[in-house]
């Protein structure tokens, strides 16, 4: 499962909420503006301006809204990578 996190302005989060209107989930998660499920991907927009895309089409969905090249790296992968590299030195 792929995870992409981008940071966008509040105005973009509002546009996203309109765009994903039909996919919005009724659940309320603390510090979130909305949670949506589009196909195999869950989109969670936070009050901080960060938006997390999780699932098989995460990168595709995230690319609609921001530069995924500057996306926040997945901490789980980074931690594993750092551990694996350190153990080989």
Q: Which residue has the tokens 């551990």?
A: 83
Q: Which residues of the chain have pLDDT under 70?
A: 69-89
d(CA 25, CA 36): 5
The reply to whether the predicted model has a pTM over 0.85 is no
State which CATH number among 3.90.230.10, 3.30.310.10, 1.10.10.60, 3.30.420.10 fits the domain covering 2-88. Answer: 3.30.310.10
CB 43 within 8 A of CB 61: yes
CB 4 within 8 A of CB 53: yes
pLDDT, tens digit, for every residue of 54-75?
999 999 999 999 877 656 555 5
Strands (DSSP E) contained in 1-89 are 2-7, 32-38, 41-46, 50-55
């Amino acid at each position: 499962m792929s995870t992409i996190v981008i940071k966008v302005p509040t105005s973009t989060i509002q546009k996203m909420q309109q765009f994903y209107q039909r996919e919005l989930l009724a659940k309320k998660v603390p510090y979130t503006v909305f949670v949506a499920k589009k196909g195999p991907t869950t989109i969670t927009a936070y009050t901080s301006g960060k938006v997390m895309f999780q699932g098989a089409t995460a990168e595709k969905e995230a690319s609609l809204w921001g530069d995924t090249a500057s996306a926040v790296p997945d901490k789980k992968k980074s931690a594993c990578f750092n551990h694996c590299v350190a153990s080989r030195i």
